[in-house]
Every structure is written in C-alpha cells, then in structure tokens.
Amino acid sequence: MPGVDTPASAATVFDLDGLAALVTALKSKGYRVIGPRVADDAVVYDDIDDVRDLPAGIGDEQAGGRYRLRKRGDSAVFGYTVSPQGWKRHLFPPRQKLFAARRSATGFEVLPPDPAPPPFAFIGVRACELAAMAVQAKVFGDKDYADPGYQGRLKDAFVVAVECGEAGDLCFCASMGTGPAVKAGYDVKLVELAGKDGPRFIATAGTARGEKMLGKLKAAKAADGDLKAAADRVAKAAKKMGRKMETATSARLKEFSEHPRWDQVAARCMTCGNCTMVCPTCFCTTVEDVTDLKGDNAERWRMWDSCFSVEFSYIHGGPIRSEARSRYRQWITHKLSTWFDQFGTAGCVGCGRCIAWCPVGIDITEEVAAIHESLKGRK
C-alpha cells in the first residue's frame, strides 16, 4: 500500500482515453489490473482488460437486505456505490495454501512456496475501502503474528483511488471519519466529472510512482473550475450520507454485555455470517490440513471463517458462544469497541455492506442507535 499522507502533486485532467492509457501503462509495467465490472447482476472487483470492461452508466440501489443495479442515465464509469466484494478477497484470499509437504526417505520435506503472482493494480478504490486496507494492514502487521504474504501484496499494490461524488443510502463513512474524501494511501487519486462527451477525471498523484505513471499520460493541467467542481462533489456526498453511526456509544459497547437489545437482535439474526463475508475488515480464518489417499502429500490451507459459526468458538468441551445473542454481540462489540483495544482503531469503516447483504436487513447503525437511545438520561 502506498505511503500515508503523501503530499499531493498538481492536478491534471483527462478523459476516458486517458484512463485507458493509464490501464495500458500499468499492464505494461507488469501489474495485474483489477477494477469494477458487472457480473452476476452486481458490480464486482475483478480482472479488467481495458476501460470497456468498466460499468459505464451503471449505478446501484442498496437498502437493508437489498442490492440492485440500475441504469444511471449518463456514462459515468465509477457511478456505483461500493461492490459487494471488497478488495479484501485479492489481498486476503478466501482460500490460501499455507504450505505443502511430501513424504521423503527421512520423514517429510516442506516444498518451496508457489511463485509469487504479479503485483495488483487496483482501479477505483473508495475512501472507506482504503481505510479498510489500513485496518487490515494493522491486523496482518501485528508484530507477533505478522502475515508476510498479506503485507507483500499490499506493499506492491498500485492504488488508483476514486473519490465518491454521491453517497449511497447505506453509507456512513462520514461519521466513522473514513470518507468520502480520499486523504491517504493512494498512488493516484481520481475524481470523476460528468461531461457531455463522456466522463472526465481530475487526477492527483499521491506517491512518486503515481507521479511517474501520470507523467506518461497526455493530460492537461486541471482548470480552477474543474478543481472546484471536484471539491464540491465530495463535500455534497459528505452531507448526503444515508446513515450515521453514534460513535461515542459504539466505542462503549463492551460495557453493555447484558443489554436487552441483544435478545431483540438475536430474534432476527439467522447467524448466516453474510455480514462477516462482505465486511472489508473481518479477518477470521480457519485452517484445514488435506492429504492424498496414500498420505504421501499434504497441504495446509487457510480459509475465511466467521464468528457467527458455532464451530468458530469451539474449545475443549463445546462452543463458548452457543446462542445467536452472544455471536451477534461478539461481532458488533469487537468491530466497534474492543477492536480499539487490539488495534487502536474501529473495525468498521462505514461502507454499509453488512446492511445490504444481511438477508433480514439487520442494520449495524440501528442496533447502536437503539442502545444509544436507551442510555439517554442515564449517567
């Protein structure tokens, strides 16, 4: 991941051809370019060949338990809110081989690791998603339990961020302090402006390599009017957030382990774990060993897991969190409260994915608001 709080260079402006040239330049440098595209009636972050793969004219509608694509009526290529899939699945794959071993004359030998894949270039990373990468960088950068694979993928990734010009109905990054303005952690930052001949992009470099990459493009210096339009768009998005988190109360959740609200939410929660799968900061895993039938070859795999599964809290004698109440409480209290004790930050960046992809529409901001209301008048 690019450095933090790097000084921004002078802004330039280019059109879709300029963005195409950026994608080509990244590919010629050996990057595997990942960007938004439509698949399975959703915007997903996957390999793109060129800008024709981007979701031109596509927006989305999100509500509790609901996600639909819609036509925007313009040709914006970054006109959706956030993809159901975060960039997490590229940096922290859902299934990853940790090592392989084979039987030898003297026992077992551990095989050399698979060759490193090419570095990623991510196109279209939102402010809340950069914040999520920074959160996971802390999780996987822990001095005692560092994950060099994650750290390497993040360090090598070239990040093209896109500032949000519109907030979604489920967004609450403004109250979490993670967006919508992109402030750090990018190589190149774009703001998309609608134009009668198609979108234009105000581009700013955040790192030396971003500056070098932008230098390869035929781009004009951005006019004052364009800079003002770009700043106005993000300011407007900040004012139109669909949700708000009561952060003073959310940070105190660990004090309310016996609150009656946990029973109410448990009556609705199906403990399906969807919220943890779509969350860009959740990091729980399990480990599985597999062997061939003869027992000559063995592999150890790490896979995403969820604190909503009964097995996840299994220790000698049984699971610690056998009820839905305790599993939901664990998830939300860790995310919003005890995560500070562990990592010095919240584990929520306000993207709203867990609300859209909860089959019964449980809303993390609503759950905190209910506890917040119940505290009024109490010391």
Nearer to ligand SF4, 57 or 65 (CB): 65
Spatial separation of the C-alpha atoms in residues 198 and 74, rounded to whole Å:
8
270 binds ligand SF4 (CB under 6 A): yes
278 binds ligand SF4 (CB under 6 A): yes
67: which 2 tokens?
């996600």
**Which residues have CB under 8 Å from 319's CB, separation 6+?**
310, 311, 312, 313
Spatial separation of the C-alpha atoms in residues 63 and 49, rounded to whole Å:
31
Strand, helix or coil at 53? helix
308 binds ligand SF4 (CB under 6 A): yes
Minimum separation from the CB atom of position 332 to ligand SF4 (A): 8
* Residues 15, 197 contacting (CB under 8 angstroms): yes
Name the amino acid, one letter, at 371.
I
* Residues 89, 3 contacting (CB under 8 angstroms): no
User: Which residue in 354, 363, 368, 371 binds ligand SF4 (CB under 6 A)?
Assistant: 354
Helices (H) and strands (E) in the chain, counts: 14, 16
Q: How far apart, in Å, are the Cα atoms of 102 and each of 45, 139, 176, 184?
A: 36, 32, 48, 45
User: Which residue in 62, 83, 250, 281 binds ligand SF4 (CB under 6 A)?
Assistant: 281
Determine the size of the site formed for ligand SF4 (CB under 6 A).
25
275 binds ligand SF4 (CB under 6 A): yes
202 binds ligand SF4 (CB under 6 A): no
123 binds ligand SF4 (CB under 6 A): no
CB atoms within 10 A of CB 110: 12
Nearer to ligand SF4, 1 or 358 (CB): 358
Terminal Cα-to-Cα distance of the chain (whole angstroms) = 43
User: Which residue in 214, 279, 307, 371 binds ligand SF4 (CB under 6 A)?
Assistant: 279
Burial classification of residue 372, based on how many CB atoms lie within 10 Å of its CB (0-12 exposed, 13-18 middle, 19 or more buried): middle
Segment near ligand SF4 (CB under 6 A), from 149-157, 208-216, 313-321, 344-352? 344-352
Minimum separation from the CB atom of position 122 to ligand SF4 (A): 17
Segment near ligand SF4 (CB under 6 A), from 1-9, 45-53, 70-78, 270-278? 270-278
Nearer to ligand SF4, 11 or 135 (CB): 135
Minimum separation from the CB atom of position 350 to ligand SF4 (A): 6
Q: Which residues would be at the binding site for ligand SF4 (CB under 6 A)?
A: 269-275, 278-281, 308, 335, 348-354, 358-360, 362, 364
